[in-house]
Amino acid sequence: MVRLIRIRTLAEAGVPLARVQEHRRRIARLAAGDSLALPLEVTAYLDRMRELGAPEVMVELERDSWILIAARWPEKIADYMVMKQAHLDDPLMRKMLQTLGNALIDEDPDAALAETADLLVEMIEQADARGELDDDDLELDSSFADLLDTVVLGAGADMVRLRDRLEELLAERGWRGLVKTERV
């Protein structure tokens, strides 16, 4: 889905579709750039993640998620980015990004996944106490939430196993959903 949106973005920018199909490698290199498929606010957010030391794997996961969200709700991106930039001010969020990034690249991710689940639950419960979980700003239907949950931790057998394990750990702690979170 992310690749299709990138191709569509390039096609809308005037690159003929036939040329896109003929030069896949070249297009893939170009499409890897954040600014080709994302609004400026999102690229600034991704740059800030990098500046704060977020692992590149986390930046890439965020980028792919925001490509989908920007395609679905382009008019809301500026508001979402204000919220996301504020999240990066939270030391708990920065710690969670580091820990989850470690889980994604670690050969034995169990300890990092458990710590990630603990951090996520702490963040979720703080948001719940502030009434933020009741806000449905994204108006997510379940199929789009499922798509984002899949994109958040990518595809492939290893990533699916990690995502499933993280979801199990969250459920053990009373929560479900990585994108649209709710109490079990």
DSSP sequence for 105-121: H-SS-HHHHHHHHHHHH
> Computed from CA positions of residues 175, 54, 58, 137, in that sequence, does the dihedral angle turn out positive or negative?
positive
Residues 110 and 113: their CA atoms lie apart, in Å, by 5
Q: What size, in residues, is the chain?
A: 184
Burial class (CB in 10 A: 0-12, 13-18, 19+), 176: middle
* DSSP SS3 for 180: coil
Are 27 and 16 in contact by the 8 Å Cβ rule? The answer is no
> Looking at 2-6, 71-75, 87-91, which range is the least confident one?
2-6
What value does the mean pLDDT take over residues 99-123?
92
- Range picked from 18-27, 28-37, 126-135 for highest mean pLDDT: 126-135
SS3 state of residue 75: helix
Contacts of 63 (CB under 8 A, 6+ apart): 34, 38, 42, 46
Inform me whether the pLDDT recorded for 28 exceeds 60: no
Report the chain's mean pLDDT, rounded to a whole number.
81
- 3-state helix, strand and coil shares in percent for the chain, rounded to the nearest 5: 75, 0, 25
In which band, very low, low, confident or very high, does the pLDDT at 55 lie, cut at 50, 70 and 90? confident
